[in-house]
Amino acid sequence: MRIEAFFLVLLFFAGCSAFSNQAGAPVVSTVNLGKEITVEGWAVDRKIGAQLIGAGFDLWIDGLSSWPEGYYTGGDKGKKVRVSGVLAEDNGLPVFIPQKGEPAVQGIPVPEGTDLEKARRRYILKDARWELLRQ
């Protein structure tokens, strides 16, 4: 039983290290804002641009309205890619809480009680470079 527990703990830390820096914080976090990072995930096109969805994070590629042809084929997962760039935060998403009886508003509706300041934030990669990974 002791050996099994040891291996479970070892597997947990090995899994965490793939998405963490030396200090143990996730790579896509405020700790790394302004720093060059490299992450892997799946290319997805959204209305507001090219998104990278990874294990426990999502971020957007600054200045890229969609992935190049062949990277995204629909649904929630496109091709797997490795992306490097400078991690930044964007606070400009137009979010709002819909109110009954009021005219429709441009932007992204969020549920009542949502912290609008948090909801408008997203991580972006500036000066991004990417490559397809074999799947």
Q: Is residue 38 part of a domain?
A: yes
- Rounded to an integer, the average pLDDT of 16-37 is 72
Tally of CB atoms within 10 A around 21: 14
What is the per-residue pLDDT across 75-108, written as a single tens digit (0 to 9) for each?
878 999 999 999 999 998 899 999 999 888 888 8
Question: Residue 130 corresponds to which tokens in the numbers above?
Answer: 């990417």
Going by the DSSP 8-state scheme, the letter that residue 29 receives in this structure is S
pLDDT at 85: 97
Q: Is residue 43 part of a domain?
A: yes
CATH number of the domain to which 93 belongs: 2.40.50
Indicate the residue type of 111.
P
Q: Is residue 74 part of a domain?
A: yes
Q: Is residue 76 part of a domain?
A: yes
